[in-house]
Amino acid sequence: MRKIARAAAVLPIVAAFCVGMTSTAQAETDCTDYSDNGGAKAQFKAYGEHLLVDDVFADGHSAIGGIEIYGDGHYFYWNRNGANGAVRDVNLDIAEGTPVVINAWLGNWDGTVTGGIDFTSNVVMNCRGVA
């Protein structure tokens, strides 16, 4: 009888520890998007939350990587270094499990964040990731 009473006293404590230790896991998802001619490339790396913006072709246009962070807003990052292999690495701070949408565009820098972006250079928004 004592063993049953002891087990009855210990089981709720063990159960409480187990419930406190459970968590929901969401898979991190990388994704890549290109402008319609392939001249701009935006790549989201979920591990570490990095947005890589690459100007692929020497076509006289800059590459722009756009990221929409669910619940936070839209951000645009320019790579104005040309197609010399210099990829812009933007180290972001996004909570784990946050959905993001990535886009790549071409543009001509005019001194403003969105003023010179050719929004028609990316026809389809198709890159969805999770931080």
pLDDT at 67 over 60: yes
By residue range, what is the domain housing residue 87? 31-130
Q: Are 78 and 107 spatial neighbours (Cβ–Cβ below 8 Å)?
A: yes
CA atoms within 13 A on the CB side of 75: 15
Residue predicted with more confidence, 123 or 41: 41
Number of separate domains in the chain = 1
Closest CA to 105 of 57, 41, 50: 41
Its pTM stands at 0.75
Q: What is the pLDDT of residue 23?
A: 29
7 is a domain residue = no
86 is a domain residue = yes
Residues in the chain: 131
106 is a domain residue = yes
pLDDT at 24 over 60: no
CATH number of 40's domain:
2.60.40
User: How do residues 110-119 score in pLDDT, each as one tens digit?
Assistant: 988 999 999 9
Confidence of residue 27 (pLDDT cuts 50, 70, 90): low
